[in-house]
Amino acid sequence: MSDAGTPEGAEDGGAVVPDEVRRRLALVLDVDDLVAALRTAGSLVDYFGVAKVGLELFSAAGPEAIGSLRDQGYEVFLDLKMWDIPTTVNRACRVLGALGVDYLTLHAMGGVDMLRAGVDGLLEGADRAGLPAPCALGVTVLTSDDSAPDHVVPNRVRVAVEGGCGGLVLAASDLRTAFELAPRLQRVVPGIRLPGSDLDDQARWSTPGDAAAAGADLLVVGRTVTHADDPVAAAAEVAASVAAAGRAG
């Protein structure tokens, strides 16, 4: 890494970030304008391999957001935190699976039957469309919630396993629980903040280096980059931290 903190190989302002690092970084696009989202995504594609579409962008642009981001070379993480009766979740996930998402969140609070229905629908939709199987992610506790009792995360991890999820969404502080109870599931960690960044509404946050070193498979990165004075420099710092954690591990 250079003295300026950019990843090794960066030349003339461009970044050379190893694919194994980019695949571990998901860019949060929490805006209500697809053009603005694509502009941000395009400027940061050298650092992020996954784009996260949440409620705001999906409500504004719908399935077009997924196709447009895939055209830019991103995998798409659709974060809708599905939670309803099993039949409704199954049917909705069948539709979403056919859109080409790579990840979809379902809230583990919905229980085993709901998760199983969602997973089945997601896989069926992708299969009917001739697409690779997406990964269903069981959301445990939001990183903005610092009031959940200690037993909640372990219980929801178990529910996600029984419900057939392929991964978990949880705070970096809960990664040990994930390793103990669900070692085969992917570990997705939001609430990532660079040192010195505003914490906003994140009560259970982590730096990118700490989360990567603790075993996060996918780090979800938003305002610490997108609201930075220099988003490209912030993205480079995140990528360099993850790369350094990988070398140290």
Residue 52 a catalytic site member:
no
β-bridge partners, 53: 78
The catalytically annotated residue of 81, 173, 181, 203 is: 81
Token pair for residue 128?
Answer: 């009917």
Query: Collapsing DSSP states into helix, strand and coil, what is residue 86?
Result: helix
Which positions ≥6 away from 28 have C-beta within 8 Å?
A: 52, 54, 190, 220, 221, 222, 223, 226
Token pair for residue 136?
Answer: 């269903």
Please measure the distance between the N-terminal and C-terminal CA atoms of the chain and give it in whole angstroms: 17
Query: Collapsing DSSP states into helix, strand and coil, what is residue 75?
Result: strand
Active site amino acids: 81
